[in-house]
Chains A and B, each alone.
Chain A
Amino acid sequence: MRKDICTFLLVLMIAFLLVQGLELSYEDKEDSEVDEYYKEHQEKTGADNMVEAILLDFRAYDTFGEVMVLYIAIAGVIILGKIVTGDDQS
């Protein structure tokens, strides 16, 4: 019973924080300066798709870190699978 109340209070607190953050982010949506910079300098990348232009040109370093996360996770899955199936016994 006490655990139920604690869980309910935790969820309520995080809901409050989320609502506060959403109000902040919805207020100043009109004049996003970073967005204007990307829209003005889009011709430099040569890509018409704005998401690709940001992902692979303006913020390619972030994408590199994300590719590394994917690499490490898949390496972990492969190592665990090799332990289970016993491919690595030799």
Chain B
Amino acid sequence: MTSLIVKTAGRALTPFILLSGLYVASFGFLSPGGGFQGGILLASGVILIMVTHGSKEVHRLAENIDWFETFGALTFLIVGLAGLLLGGYLFSNLLPDTPLMCIVLDIVIALKVFVGITAVFVYFFGMGVKEC
């Protein structure tokens, strides 16, 4: 269905989109960016591959990747409970004056948003395929 030009351009652009997503997610504490924006960028890279190359492989990948969503939510909760147990209140910073908590939560949120948006698009595409 898609032409050779679209396939080649999608294959060439996707690594750079993923790299910029990783940069935005992991350097969100220093520069503009953050977990949500990085996660959306990562998901847009995967969606580009899905649009240009068909969604069969990505569909199989996305069915095995859903548990990352639960993993992200649980990690967020564990960080909060560790702050409650060791620091005195919920989500207290364990290492003051260092951005460790921001980095960890940024990467966790980026993973969670990436998996979530990819799963939503995969299931929307699956709905459209069933219709035809």
User: In their complex, do chains A and B touch, with some C-beta pair under 8 Å?
Assistant: yes
Q: Evaluate contact between A48 and B124: CB separation under 8 angstroms.
A: no
Q: Are B119 and A78 in contact (CB under 8 A)?
A: yes
A63 proximity list for chain B (CB < 8 A): 105, 109
Task: Report yes or no: A45 in contact with B73, Cβ–Cβ below 8 A.
Answer: no
Instruction: Pick the interface stretch among A2-10, A15-23, A27-35, A66-74.
Output: A66-74
The segment from B8-16, B23-31, B45-53 found at the interface with A is B23-31
B102–A81 touching, CB < 8 Å: no
Option from B29, B91, B123 in Cβ contact (under 8 Å) with A81: B123
- How far apart sit A85 and B119, CA to CA, in the bound complex (Å)? 14
- Chain B residues in contact with chain A, CB under 8 A? 28-35, 63, 66, 69-70, 72-73, 76-77, 80, 90-91, 93, 96-102, 105-106, 109, 112-113, 116, 119-120, 122-124, 126-127, 129-130
Residue picked from B31, B69, B99, most chain A C-beta under 10 Å: B99
B120 near A56 with CB under 8 A, answer no
In the assembly, what is the distance between CA of A45 and CA of B33, in Å?
A: 17
A residues apposed to B, CB below 8 Å: 43-49, 51-53, 55-57, 60-61, 63-64, 67-68, 70-71, 74-75, 77-78, 80-82, 84-85, 87
A interface majority secondary structure:
helix
Q: Which residues of B contact A43 (CB under 8 A)?
A: 97
| Interface contact B80-A47, CB-CB below 8 Å | no
CB-based contact A68/B29 at 8 Å = no
Question: Complex formed: what's the CA distance from A56 to B69 in Å?
Answer: 18
Q: How far is the CA of A28 from the CA of B3 in the complex (A)?
A: 58
A44: nearest chain-B partner, CB-CB = B96
Partner of A67, one of B29, B31, B102, B109: B109
* B34 lies within 8 A of A57 (CB): no
B30 to A48, Cβ gap below 8 A? yes
5 residue pairs, one from A and one from B, having the closest CB atoms: A81-B123, A60-B91, A46-B99, A47-B29, A74-B116
